Amino acid sequence: MKSGADTFIDIIDEATDGAQNGTIGSGSHIGIVSFAGTASADTQLITSVSGLKAAVNALTDGGSTNHADAFEKAVELFNPASANDKVIVMFTDGKTTAGPSPSPVAAAARAAGITIYCIGLIGSNGIDISVLNDWATEPDDSHVAVTPDDAELEALFADLAADISKSGATNVVIDEMINPDFIITGIIPPDKGTAAAVNDTSLQWKIPKLGVSGNEGASLEFYIRHIGTDSGTKEVNKSIVYSDSEGNVVTFPSPSVKVECGTVVTPESCPAPVSFSIDGCKDFAVIDLGDVYLESQGRIIELNVTLKNVCPNKRVALAVILSEADCRGAEHQRGMKTFTIPAHNYPSCRDVLVKCIKFVLPEDSYMPCGMDSSMCGVRSLKARVIAHNIDTDYHCCGTVTIN
């Protein structure tokens, strides 16, 4: 067992930093707990290969077998706040002969996220394989092994070390796409690797290696701008695809932002509909829709305009002037509309979207160039917008007499 444990430590040493240099790398640590009638921590979680091997080689056989205390002492070595994977490898050559039942202790460790491997080395008293299966993490066939000799034990340790050691990630590629309500306006150079925008809504982040020589993370910040038309709390990411050469699986956070759109004013209401129904199996009906004015004869132009930085408690006078250019470039007036935009009471200046400013272009005002006088002819229009505050804190100066 000592020879196999030494091999296990050497393999972890090489797997975590690429070389057997006497130090466990990548933020990994190993601790040694021995047990007989009671258990004791022969080392804390350390990175010194020589210190670990010294603790292994100082072990002696004898005494009872208290598996429950062994599990408890092993669990106590872990820092609950650590994000590292936590693994216990239990080596035993006998049945429980001291202390309480180990099953509840092992179950509590598994529930806390600790992975348990059980290695049974058959001794003079035999071994109960069923309890090893009970203590270990499922599936049993990959977390429990019973081996009869040193050679097989060393081979088992080699497979186990390769399985639980983490060598970090290389050739990391992260493809991120944001939701269409946003566009990417800037990317801050990341602390690891390089990142670039693919288009307005996606970026790619590449990292050559991460966590290979030590326990490390990486972060990327980028700026987005909301281009949607509705308010509310919105998820930023549409998808994130991660890949690396080691096949690691990564879970990313899901950030969201609270969007509050500017005030929307619709100064002109749409025409009120006339409701009617047709009863039974009638295939013909005469409906009187009432009086309809000719204001909508011809084409209808509907304009939207955003008033920028309208301060609170100030009404705005808005005028929209529409003209049409003929084929010679001469302009002909087609109408002007003026509105009073009501004041808002938000605490700061904000944009106000004025929607649905409608103009009617009668067909008899159309001056085509050539013979094209159809409804579908091209009409060249120009719109001018004038806006100013109505309310102001300006006061006329009073008469001042100077002697």
Mean pLDDT, rounded, for 246-270: 79
- The whole model's pTM is what? 0.45
Residue of 81 and 150 predicted with greater confidence: 81
- Segment 389-394 long-range contacts (CB within 8 Å, at least 24 positions apart): 389/311, 389/314, 389/315, 389/316, 389/317, 390/314, 390/315, 390/316, 390/317, 390/340, 391/313, 391/314, 391/315, 391/343, 392/314
Confidence of residue 395 (pLDDT cuts 50, 70, 90): low
Q: Is 5 helix (H, G, I), strand (E, B) or coil?
A: helix
Query: Residue 72 has what pLDDT?
Result: 96
The string of pLDDT tens digits covering residues 142-158 is 788 887 677 777 777 77
Rounded to whole angstroms, the Cα distance separating 205 from 220 reads: 8
Q: Which of 171-175, 199-203, 359-363 has the lowest mean pLDDT?
A: 359-363
Considering only residues 247 and 335, tell me which one the structure prediction assigns the higher pLDDT: 335
How far, in Å, CA of 113 to CA of 91, rounded? 20
In this predicted structure, the answer to whether residue 16 has a pLDDT above a threshold of 50 is: yes
CATH topology for the 2-164 domain = Rossmann fold (3.40.50)
C-alpha closest to that of 20 among 32, 30, 2, 8: 8
Mean pLDDT across 155-164:
71
Cβ partners under 8 Å of residue 224, min gap 6: 178, 182, 183, 184, 185, 236, 257
| Digit-coded pLDDT (tens) for 309-332 | 999 999 999 999 999 888 788 888
Does the pLDDT of residue 360 top 70, yes or no? yes
pLDDT band at 25 (very low <50, low <70, confident <90, very high): confident
Spell 188-198 as b/e; 16+ CB within 10 A means b: eebebbebeee
Instruction: State the alpha helices, DSSP H only, in 18-168.
Output: 49-57, 67-77, 102-111, 129-135, 140-143, 150-164
Q: What is the pLDDT of residue 383?
A: 94
Whole-angstrom Cα distance, residue 4 to residue 151?
8
One-letter amino acid at 61 equals D
What is the reported pLDDT for 20?
A: 85
Measured distance CA(30)–CA(71) in Å, rounded: 15
Beta strand residue intervals within 139-219, DSSP E: 144-147, 169-178, 182-188, 194-199, 202-210
Confidence of residue 382 (pLDDT cuts 50, 70, 90): very high
**Higher pLDDT, residue 297 or 184:** 184
Answer positive or negative: Cα dihedral of 56, 58, 64, 66: negative
User: What digits encode the pLDDT tens for the residues 95-109?
Assistant: 888 999 999 999 999
Average pLDDT over residues 285-305: 78
pLDDT at residue 370, rounded to an integer: 55
- Name the residue ranges covered by the structural domains of the chain: 2-164, 169-259, 264-389
